[in-house]
Structure 1
Amino acid sequence: MAQSAASRRSLPEPFSMPALRRVGSGAAAALPGPARPSGGRTRPARTAPARGRRPGAVPPRSARPAGVAVGSGGPPAAQLHRGCKALVVRSRGAYPKAPRTAALQIPAERKWQNAAGLLTHVCLHETSSPENPKTYAIVKQLLAEGNVGELQKYFGSRMEFGTAGLRAAMGAGISHMNDLTIIQTTQGFCRYLEKNFSDLKKRGVVIGFDARAHLSSGGSSKRFARLAANTFISQGVPVYLFSDIIPTPFVPYTVTHLKLCAGIMVTASHNPKQDNGYKVYWENGAQIISPHDKGISQAIEQNQEPWPQAWDDKLIDSSPLLHDPYALVNKEYFKDIQKQCFYRNINKETNLKFVHTSVHGVGHKFVQLAFKAFDLSPPFAVPEQKDPDPDFPTVKYPNPEEGKGVLTLSFALAEKDGARIILANDPDADRLAVAEKQESGEWKVFSGNELGALLGWWIFTCWKNNSRDTHAIKDVYMLSSTVSSKILRAIALKEGFHFEETLTGFKWMGNRAKQLMDQGKAVLFAFEEAIGYMCCPAVLDKDGVSAAVITAEMASFLATRNLSLSQQLKAVYDEYGFHITKASYFICHDPKVIQQLFDNLRNFDGKNTYPKSCGRFKVSGIRDLTTGYDSSQPDQKAILPTSKSSQMITFTFANGGVATMRTSGTEPKIKYYSELCAPPGNSDVEQLKKELDELVNALEKHFFQPEKNKLQRQTDAT
């Protein structure tokens, strides 16, 4: 039952707040707020006055409540146990009896100066989510144990909604992906869309999901997608919910194809098996960028109480607002990517064999259909990895970017069946890794930059061979991220089309591509070094399905010229200049050290001075996207968007080398990306590699200073 107003007024000060919040099945309850201790001093806990007594008066023959110093009351686990015993909710909607103030105190060195804030989060979770018995049981057990450390992990901080949406481990609490946090996120997103689209209830949204699931917490991509759909439908918003697992690219495709307001994909892509995510697309079919992330985040904070019937996802099955786009999109998507098929006769006749792995993800069926759409014989599927499996049992990390370690089974199958090329998608099929057997018998796994060079060359060549308008090239564009190889720039300079670089991530490339397309430009291709490729303008995001089949057609065509992918890559570099790349990172868990490292680079030889050299290598240009400085611009202001919340400096060297140092937004890493761009004709690859190695060594020694800053190298971390 809900508490009466009188009982709410009698709560001790840490639980006294004027606002009411609806919890559970709709019962009103007071929302606890934190106590305000002052160092080691004591502070009396105020109590609400009895009826008819002036505020602050002490009733006759009763002592004023004694304050309790921070840290008193016994070990923190015991204190939390006493304070939380009453917090285990007996029935949904009931608010627990408030613990004594003394029981709320835990040491100040903990994340909370007292347990009131922690109990607030626990209480909200407990009174809102017994609908999921598994997460409910997890928290209930931790409360019974008084497990401060684990409760802090679960409730210490809410997942931050950013331009990439959400990504975290599945489990209990506001720091994890679970039924409650999905409902809260979707409620905020729904309210934000209502503010931005007057026709939201006419156009609707699309929601897709992959095959991830987490047995111990009861979470799964499908469950989360249905809860999200239920949230929108409860507000009268049409939802196009895929009835089965799909590749991530299907969601942005559906947004633009059906002219919807937004899209949601529930996936954690190539993350470890315990993770899941909530990826958001805007009406233009691209991932959201600022300020949408901030607006959605604020709306989530304002809509945390589950709406009526929020938990009952079965309600959507009988709703006229629910639509299944699966059959339509399966048909239209493959029809659209067929526009990138230029050598159908060669595809039909090729003897080239391919192996494909979906790494226990969703890609198998859709790559098979893509090959059929291009009249290619289906690739051999790695049987152990063909079907979706949320445990990813055959790999340590389900990320084909890891290279040969993920491709062991693919190599074995290729050797057995005589296949020369391996195509590997990540679990949500938005990225692609490619390997090719060399004449030596060894397997070469192409880097993201190398495959980007090949696909860029191929897609432009196909466009040029099929374009009837010789002047159309002035409206042709290709894009890549600023930390990716500059090979597309070299091709563009020689061939006459436009090249642009964007900030890291397809959210930037997708939005820029849409802007250019709206201006009547043709964006043929975009890529990032992290094996992401946009080969088809119908999808404004990386797409591992279309990239796989287009790579297969390219390889089939080259085979008719007795060329391998590796040989063609060398031909591209011979014509446009070799681009040798090297990337790595250092681990640093101290934000102050990271800040000081970058501050030192900005004040290298005095205040506001950048390095003029790095070892023997002369610096010819500097771009700092944290401060907005760019030495190459007339006004010395960077053209690309800047952000003071992240560190990113790019150094250009007189020898043609480029090196970017940046912080990771999700991990305690300082990453670097280096490239040596040689002019056409310089074919001494080994000498170029040696020079790049020397540049990287100088970068590490003089700019990173790992010993001084106590940085952990990538090789030491793996």
Structure 2
Amino acid sequence: MENGLSSTGDISLDQAIQQWLQFDKNPKTAAAVREMVKDGKVEELRKCFRARMEFGTAGLRASMGPGISCMNDLTIIQTTQGFCVYLEQCFPDLKQRGMVIGFDARAHVPSGGSSKRFATLAAAVFISRGVPVHLFSDITPTPYVPFTVSRLGLCAGIMVTASHNPKQDNGYKVYWENGAQIIPPHDKGIAGAIEENLEPWHESWHTEDALQSPLLKDPYNDMHSKYMQTIQKHCFHRELNKRSEVKVVHTSVHGVGHKFVQAAFEAFDLRRPYAVEEQKDPDPEFPTVKYPNPEEGEGVLTLSFALADREGATVVLANDPDADRLAIAEKQQNGQWKVFSGNELGALLGWWVFQCWKQQNAGKTPVKDVYMLASTVSSKILRAIALKEGFHFEETLTGFKWMGNRAKDLLDQEKTVLFAFEEAIGYMCSPAVLDKDGVSAAAIAGEFVSYLATKNTSLSAQLKAIYEEYGYHITKNSYFICHEQETIRQLFERLRNYNGEETYPKDCGGFAISGIRDLTTGYDNNQPDNKAVLPTSKSSQMITFTFANGGVATMRTSGTEPKIKYYTELCAAPGNSDLNQLQAELDKLVDAIVEHFFQPKKNNLKPRPE
């Protein structure tokens, strides 16, 4: 290599390193690359430079560090330059309308990377092209970015966050002018523009100039105020809230949520929740948890339970670090804590939002114009409620990008979108944010708990009542960890060629299969032409099996983590309350799927950690 650096013996790798050192102006990441070259750490260099992060509909998510495989100053600049050029092509009025950038509290000392630093670099790129930028001056929840896009009529938004990922990771989440996350073909268009704009523009590094530019605006105070005013439209029991003595604990899991959930409770005239002191302030090290993900359950909520027990609180609310998701736990009569699954919370919040709508809109808006949405891997409990109550239920592909875009389509048709959810504890309780929102969901849940207290009942009892009225929907979801893409590909290809070429399995361990939908290939044997109605994607694996006993199981790959996930549900008709029998049946079905379809020992799959 040039500059006296020794060759790795791989021409393409050497070229990538050489270009990196030519482009990178971050002294920490440039020095780290030079040190690896000097020490002959070829494998480490390959990890950093083997492939550029793939820009998809989820944007970017990777570990922070040097090289094109990681999140760092240079890759943020390159990504933003491509995004900016693509927006210029799509929006002739980009320089009039502008865009918004938000960030969480993540930071990585070895590389000098942080969410705030990345957000500032992204702002510098746009400002260098004469584009007005609304850059939040402080950390905010992710929902504030799509809220700002919609509220101010902007062309796009960027949120720098890795949500609940491990501390070394960061991400770059993109919203379109409609306030929803991007969907195809924008991902491919942006990815192509990134490749064509890899060399940093001169002004892209000039963050100090950008921060002094008249094109830079701080939307923080205005959007915070307007957000709180907007969610108050979903407060239906203010007088009850004022009198409520219900005690609630909240944890932000070292993320951004504390201040905003406290403000949301105040906006609803609810008693402010007790905050878990050890976790309420942002800390990029996440010192009290192994994984900063409340979806993992009790391990993340241990400190919350202890505080609740001390204060006599019966409900715990938990946000993930960027506060777009919400977990809820409730103390049971036996003194144990129940952590509700995402599907159970979908049933509870969906039912509650509909009850509130009915109370407010009696005789005003036809129920036939009301919609609720859920992802295809989430519980179908909303479908059961919709069938009885008369509103519409639709399912979309996995991810709020699909629900957000579909919700916007319906809103544009002057339909009412009340609620949307995904089983990964994501809830959209207000169409003001066309994405999951853990802040508004927390306040609405707080009001729900206060209402139930006046009826001397609980979330657990209400969930049982919902299932008894609309039919039990019991679920069992988990995942296997697999880092080998070829293993994953072979596993799914085996299912597509189970009994010879192009034959799917007809049963699984004695459970007869009645329907198969493959959203990787576009096959669906429940459709007249065997073609799936939902959009397909060859870049991700996803197969759904419907069983003769009423069970449904979906297997899919994660877009952001090395996981193969599975989602199973068994639905019973209203009146069938033999829950033990249903649970036993579902357990047997899941065991059969794991044994016959996943074959974890043969494929060297690691189960979800306890």
Same fold flag (TM > 0.5): yes
Instruction: Decide whether the 8 Å contact of 2:61 with 2:560 is kept in 1.
Output: no
More off after superposition, 225-234 vs 610-619: 610-619
Question: What is aligned with 1:389?
Answer: 283
Out of 118, 121, 131, the residue aligned to residue 13 of structure 2 is: 118
Question: What is aligned with 1:685?
Answer: 579
Unaligned segments of structure 1, at least 5 residues? 1-82, 88-102, 107-113
More off after superposition, 339-348 vs 168-177: 168-177
Question: What is aligned with 1:63?
Answer: none
Count of paired positions: 610
Instruction: Decide whether the 8 Å contact of 2:245 with 2:271 is kept in 1.
Output: no
Matches within 5 A, 1:432-581: 432-469=326-363, 472-581=366-475
1:121 offset after TM fit, Å? 1.5
Describe the shift of the 1:710–1:604 C-alpha distance in structure 2 as closer, same or farther (beyond 3 A).
closer
Cα deviation digits, residues 298-340 of structure 1 (max 9, x gap): 1011111111122120102221111111111011111111111
1:631 offset after TM fit, Å? 1.8
| RMSD of Structure 2 on Structure 1 (CA) | 1.5
1:666 offset after TM fit, Å? 3.6
Question: What is aligned with 1:78?
Answer: none
Cα deviation digits, residues 261-316 of structure 1 (max 9, x gap): 00000111111111111110000000001110110011011111111122120102
Which whole-Å CA distance do the structure 1 matches of 2:460 and 2:224 have between them? Answer: 33
Question: What is aligned with 1:320?
Answer: 214
Which whole-Å CA distance do the structure 2 matches of 1:84 and 1:578 have between them? Answer: 67
Out of 237, 249, 260, the residue aligned to residue 143 of structure 2 is: 249
1:686 offset after TM fit, Å? 1.0
Instruction: Decide whether the 8 Å contact of 2:511 with 2:547 is kept in 1.
Output: yes
1:628 offset after TM fit, Å? 1.2
Which whole-Å CA distance do the structure 2 matches of 1:704 and 1:318 have between them? Answer: 56
Which whole-Å CA distance do the structure 2 matches of 1:668 and 1:222 have between them? Answer: 27
1:607 offset after TM fit, Å? 3.4
Which whole-Å CA distance do the structure 2 matches of 1:122 and 1:603 have between them? Answer: 42
1:590 offset after TM fit, Å? 4.1
1:637 offset after TM fit, Å? 1.4
Instruction: Decide whether the 8 Å contact of 2:492 with 2:541 is kept in 1.
Output: yes
Partner letter of residue 115 of structure 1? Answer: D
Runs of 4+ in 1 over 4 A off after TM superposition: none
The alignment-based identity, stated in percent, is 70
Q: Secondary structure at the match of 1:436?
A: strand
Cα deviation digits, residues 492-527 of structure 1 (max 9, x gap): 111111101111100111011101111111110000
Cα deviation digits, residues 387-414 of structure 1 (max 9, x gap): 1111111111111111111111111111
Out of 674, 678, 703, the residue aligned to residue 597 of structure 2 is: 703
Question: What is aligned with 1:132?
Answer: 26
Instruction: Decide whether the 8 Å contact of 2:2 with 2:18 is kept in 1.
Output: no
Question: What is aligned with 2:4?
Answer: 86
Instruction: Decide whether the 8 Å contact of 1:85 with 1:144 is kept in 2.
Output: no
Q: Secondary structure at the match of 2:67?
A: coil
Which whole-Å CA distance do the structure 2 matches of 1:546 and 1:669 have between them? Answer: 29
Partner letter of residue 711 of structure 1? Answer: N
Partner letter of residue 125 of structure 1? Answer: W
Out of 160, 164, 174, the residue aligned to residue 54 of structure 2 is: 160
Instruction: Decide whether the 8 Å contact of 1:397 with 1:406 is kept in 2.
Output: yes
Out of 498, 520, 523, the residue aligned to residue 626 of structure 1 is: 520
Q: Secondary structure at the match of 1:500?
A: strand
Instruction: Decide whether the 8 Å contact of 1:84 with 1:146 is kept in 2.
Output: no
Which whole-Å CA distance do the structure 1 matches of 2:151 and 2:139 have between them? Answer: 19
Which whole-Å CA distance do the structure 2 matches of 1:635 and 1:671 have between them? Answer: 28
Is 1:714 equivalent to 2:570 in the alignment? no
1:694 offset after TM fit, Å? 0.8
Q: Secondary structure at the match of 1:360?
A: coil
Q: Secondary structure at the match of 1:217?
A: coil
Describe the shift of the 1:587–1:397 C-alpha distance in structure 2 as closer, same or farther (beyond 3 A).
closer
1:658 offset after TM fit, Å? 0.5
Partner letter of residue 70 of structure 2? Answer: H
Which whole-Å CA distance do the structure 2 matches of 1:475 and 1:128 have between them? Answer: 54
Which whole-Å CA distance do the structure 1 matches of 2:332 and 2:58 have between them? Answer: 38
Out of 71, 74, 82, the residue aligned to residue 177 of structure 1 is: 71
Describe the shift of the 1:401–1:634 C-alpha distance in structure 2 as closer, same or farther (beyond 3 A).
same
Instruction: Decide whether the 8 Å contact of 2:482 with 2:606 is kept in 1.
Output: no
Question: What is aligned with 2:158?
Answer: 264
Which whole-Å CA distance do the structure 1 matches of 2:484 and 2:252 have between them? Answer: 37
Describe the shift of the 1:336–1:470 C-alpha distance in structure 2 as closer, same or farther (beyond 3 A).
closer
Query: Which structure has the higher relative contact order (CA within 8 Å, separation 6+)?
Result: 2
Partner letter of residue 336 of structure 1? Answer: T
Partner letter of residue 20 of structure 2? Answer: H
Which whole-Å CA distance do the structure 1 matches of 2:171 and 2:559 have between them? Answer: 15
TM-score normalised according to structure 2 size: 0.97
1:142 offset after TM fit, Å? 1.4
Q: Secondary structure at the match of 1:397?
A: coil
Cα deviation digits, residues 623-657 of structure 1 (max 9, x gap): 11122121222222111001122221111112211
1:585 offset after TM fit, Å? 2.3
Instruction: Decide whether the 8 Å contact of 1:84 with 1:119 is kept in 2.
Output: no
Describe the shift of the 1:425–1:155 C-alpha distance in structure 2 as closer, same or farther (beyond 3 A).
same
Question: What is aligned with 1:368?
Answer: 262
Describe the shift of the 1:667–1:322 C-alpha distance in structure 2 as closer, same or farther (beyond 3 A).
closer
Which whole-Å CA distance do the structure 2 matches of 1:595 and 1:206 have between them? Answer: 38
Question: What is aligned with 1:646?
Answer: 540
> Looking at CA atoms only, which structure, 1 or 2, has the larger radius of gyration?
1
Which whole-Å CA distance do the structure 2 matches of 1:402 and 1:375 have between them? Answer: 31
Question: What is aligned with 1:69?
Answer: none
Q: Secondary structure at the match of 1:515?
A: helix
Describe the shift of the 1:340–1:714 C-alpha distance in structure 2 as closer, same or farther (beyond 3 A).
same
Which whole-Å CA distance do the structure 1 matches of 2:596 and 2:364 have between them? Answer: 49
Describe the shift of the 1:592–1:267 C-alpha distance in structure 2 as closer, same or farther (beyond 3 A).
closer
Which whole-Å CA distance do the structure 1 matches of 2:567 and 2:215 have between them? Answer: 48
1:138 offset after TM fit, Å? 1.1
Describe the shift of the 1:628–1:318 C-alpha distance in structure 2 as closer, same or farther (beyond 3 A).
same
Which whole-Å CA distance do the structure 2 matches of 1:430 and 1:222 have between them? Answer: 18
Which whole-Å CA distance do the structure 1 matches of 2:515 and 2:473 have between them? Answer: 19
Partner letter of residue 86 of structure 1? Answer: G
Which whole-Å CA distance do the structure 1 matches of 2:155 and 2:368 have between them? Answer: 32
Question: What is aligned with 2:117?
Answer: 223
Which whole-Å CA distance do the structure 1 matches of 2:561 and 2:114 have between them? Answer: 24
Question: What is aligned with 1:306?
Answer: 200
Which whole-Å CA distance do the structure 2 matches of 1:319 and 1:555 have between them? Answer: 47
Which whole-Å CA distance do the structure 1 matches of 2:538 and 2:457 have between them? Answer: 47
Out of 556, 561, 566, the residue aligned to residue 672 of structure 1 is: 566
1:712 offset after TM fit, Å? 2.2
Question: What is aligned with 2:228?
Answer: 334
1:84 offset after TM fit, Å? 6.2
Which whole-Å CA distance do the structure 1 matches of 2:588 and 2:83 have between them? Answer: 49
Instruction: Decide whether the 8 Å contact of 1:84 with 1:143 is kept in 2.
Output: no
Q: Secondary structure at the match of 2:533?
A: coil
Which whole-Å CA distance do the structure 2 matches of 1:693 and 1:249 have between them? Answer: 36
Which whole-Å CA distance do the structure 2 matches of 1:331 and 1:568 have between them? Answer: 33
Q: Secondary structure at the match of 2:146?
A: helix
Partner letter of residue 406 of structure 1? Answer: V
Partner letter of residue 714 of structure 1? Answer: P
1:589 offset after TM fit, Å? 4.2
Cα deviation digits, residues 92-125 of structure 1 (max 9, x gap): xxxxxxxxxxx75x6xxxxxxx422222121222
Matches within 5 A, 1:45-56: none
